[in-house]
């Protein structure tokens, strides 16, 4: 089935691209820019790789206030790939095969340079923050424009249709995993992974995979974030609809939700002895730029990013399993409850200052146009990034001891021998970033972009029909009023 679906999609992409090339030649020969196209042609053009690639790399000259999120999103995605390369590619999966790593590994997580890898899950909170920020930033002006009218079913349908095609592409690609590797332990790891998707694929399409208890039995482990994000999206209108009616009440509810997230994180650590979950934060502003004193700006630039750095690097003492410097229960609960909020505080400050035009070189860097295409690809990159990591990990045949002083050249890399070292992990992560981006581009052109265009066509057609229906009703009403006036005039003249 997976091969058949991919074959059909590739055929439609090639056909749509061929049609666009023919239409471009026809335009050049006839100089007719606005030529009417049939409905079938419009549908096939949605699959054109030329059109979708052009739209991907299209960058508007005028930056929006939130252009900074492109840079944050891309850098966060790179960080997640590096962290997962370390976790899935060189530690987590290898423990099943290479028992001697259990002797070498424990002394490394406690080193300061590994904290950015150990705490790379904080980038997921960056995505939650960006998701909430963009949602409110777009929704509040729309609510003011429509007078508070809100179509909840259409809101959910848009989100589901936006995310599902690419997710289906990922699930079908996992079915093809057995064709992309080999090795003595390859089938041992790949077959259970594929079987999990055959049993539990529907969890992902219903966006409830984050509720699945058996993590090794999940289909595409990274999709838990997509499910959590979708569930937040379902309940988010409770906040921004209330905020649209009363900013004070909306802010109070927002703070209550944030406190619930913080407290529940601490409680979950106390009850289940597990890692803390995420907290939800939203921000909205008017067009007025706040007047922030320069002294306060300097203090905030020192304090808030430092809080984020503390959330990331302060764990190095506790991650060193060879030492007994473990935190107390109170410290564990407090840190687990506040870590994600401390991280988001720094990200929120950077976003806020850049949005109001006070970010200086930070805003210039994070808002650079080079980040825009990769930011648009970030959803597909997130879906695909584990595929090259796991396929390479499953295909390994030999190993050596984990040695931080063993350096290898990327030119001499061989899948037959892997030298575990910090330098190598970074070079491996760089390759995974490139491979994930290429795989994401394929997923984007085959699934996300075509079906996103089809969705726009359908809803645009419905909008046009509604407008036409509304115009017809107004015309009928005007005709009725006109006929009533003429009848009244004629009756008046007859009396005279």
Model pLDDT for residues 278-303, shown as the tens digit of each residue: 332 333 344 556 677 788 888 888 88
Q: Are residues 52 and 185 both part of a single domain? A: no
Q: Are residues 20 and 50 both part of a single domain? A: yes
Q: Are residues 44 and 115 both part of a single domain? A: no
Q: Are residues 4 and 32 both part of a single domain? A: yes
Note the pLDDT of residue 439.
92
The neighbour count for residue 214, using CB atoms within 10 Å, is 8
494 belongs to a structural domain = no
Q: Are residues 335 and 423 both part of a single domain? A: yes
Q: Are residues 186 and 273 both part of a single domain? A: yes
What are the start-end ranges of the E strands in 368-453? none
What's the structural domain count of the chain?
A: 2
Element housing 79 (H / E): helix 68-84
pLDDT below 50 — which residues of the chain?
A: 91-105, 275-286, 400-420, 467-472, 474-475, 477-480, 482, 487, 490-496
Give the span between the Cα atoms of 219 and 206, in whole angstroms: 12
Give the span between the Cα atoms of 59 and 76, in whole angstroms: 21
- Tens digits of per-residue pLDDT, 321-339? 555 566 777 777 887 788 8
480 belongs to a structural domain = no
SS3 53: helix
Give the span between the Cα atoms of 470 and 457, in whole angstroms: 20
Note the pLDDT of residue 8.
92
Note the pLDDT of residue 250.
80
Torsion of CA 193, 194, 196, 198, to 10 degrees: 180
Which structural domain, as residue segments, surrounds residue 148?
59-459
Q: Are residues 70 and 47 both part of a single domain? A: no
Domain boundary among 58, 80, 101: 58
Give DSSP secondary structure letters for 16-37: HHHHHHHHHHHHHHH--SS---
Q: Are residues 296 and 322 both part of a single domain? A: yes
Q: Are residues 4 and 116 both part of a single domain? A: no
39-42 long-range CB contacts below 8 Å, 24 or more apart? 42/457
Q: Are residues 5 and 143 both part of a single domain? A: no
272 belongs to a structural domain = yes
Q: Are residues 290 and 347 both part of a single domain? A: yes
Q: Are residues 200 and 253 both part of a single domain? A: yes
Domain boundary among 15, 41, 58: 58
Give bridge partners of residue 414 from the DSSP assignment: 417
Note the pLDDT of residue 79.
85
491 belongs to a structural domain = no
Specify whether the CB–CB gap between 73 and 375 falls below 8 A. yes
479 belongs to a structural domain = no
What DSSP designation does 403 have? -
Torsion of CA 39, 41, 47, 48, to 10 degrees: -140
Domain boundary among 58, 79, 94: 58
495 belongs to a structural domain = no
471 belongs to a structural domain = no
Note the pLDDT of residue 245.
83
464 belongs to a structural domain = no
């Amino acid at each position: 089935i997976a091969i058949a679906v991919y074959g059909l999609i590739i055929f439609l992409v090639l056909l749509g691209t061929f049609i666009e090339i023919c239409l471009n030649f026809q335009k050049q020969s006839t100089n007719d820019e606005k030529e009417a196209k049939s409905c079938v042609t419009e549908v096939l053009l949605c699959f054109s790789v030329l059109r979708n690639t052009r739209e991907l790399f299209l960058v508007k000259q005028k930056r929006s206030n939130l252009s900074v999120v492109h840079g944050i999103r891309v850098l966060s995605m790179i960080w997640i790939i590096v962290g997962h390369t370390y976790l899935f590619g060189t530690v987590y999966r290898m423990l099943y095969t290479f028992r001697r790593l259990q002797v070498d590994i424990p002394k490394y997580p406690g080193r300061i340079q590994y904290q950015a890898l150990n705490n790379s899950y904080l980038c997921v909170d960056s995505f939650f923050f960006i998701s909430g920020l963009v949602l409110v930033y777009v929704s509040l002006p729309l609510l003011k424009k429509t007078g508070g009218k809100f179509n909840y079913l259409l809101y959910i349908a848009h989100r589901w249709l936006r995310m599902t095609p690419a997710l289906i592409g990922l699930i079908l690609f996992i079915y093809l995993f057995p064709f992309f590797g080999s090795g003595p332990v390859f089938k041992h790891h790949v077959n259970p992974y594929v079987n999990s998707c055959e049993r539990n694929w529907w969890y992902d399409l219903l966006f409830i995979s984050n509720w699945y208890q058996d993590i090794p039995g999940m289909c595409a482990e990274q999709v838990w974030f997509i499910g959590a994000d979708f569930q937040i999206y379902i309940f988010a209108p409770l906040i921004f609809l209330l905020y649209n009616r009363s900013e004070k009440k909306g802010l109070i509810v927002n703070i209550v939700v944030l406190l619930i997230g913080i407290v529940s994180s601490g409680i979950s650590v106390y009850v289940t002895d597990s890692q803390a979950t995420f907290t939800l934060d939203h921000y909205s502003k008017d067009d007025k730029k706040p007047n922030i004193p320069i002294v306060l700006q300097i203090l905030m630039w020192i304090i808030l990013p430092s809080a984020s750095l503390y959330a990331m690097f302060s764990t190095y003492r506790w991650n060193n399993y060879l030492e007994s410097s473990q935190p107390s229960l109170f410290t564990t609960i407090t840190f687990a409850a506040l870590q994600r909020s401390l991280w988001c505080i720094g990200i929120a400050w950077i976003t806020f200052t850049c949005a109001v035009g006070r970010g200086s070189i930070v805003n210039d860097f994070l808002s650079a146009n080079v980040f825009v295409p990769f930011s648009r690809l970030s959803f597909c990159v997130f879906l695909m990034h584990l595929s090259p990591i796991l396929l390479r990990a499953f295909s390994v045949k030999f190993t050596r001891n984990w040695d931080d002083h063993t350096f290898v050249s990327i030119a001499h890399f061989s899948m037959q021998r892997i030298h575990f070292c910090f330098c190598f992990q970074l070079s491996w992560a760089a390759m995974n970033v490139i491979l994930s981006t290429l795989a994401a581009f394929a997923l984007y052109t085959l699934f996300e972009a075509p079906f996103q265009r089809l969705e726009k066509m359908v809803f645009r057609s419905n909008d046009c029909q509604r407008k036409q229906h509304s115009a017809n009703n107004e015309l009928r009403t005007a005709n009725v009023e006109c006929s009533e006036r003429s009848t009244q005039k004629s009756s008046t003249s007859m009396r005279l």
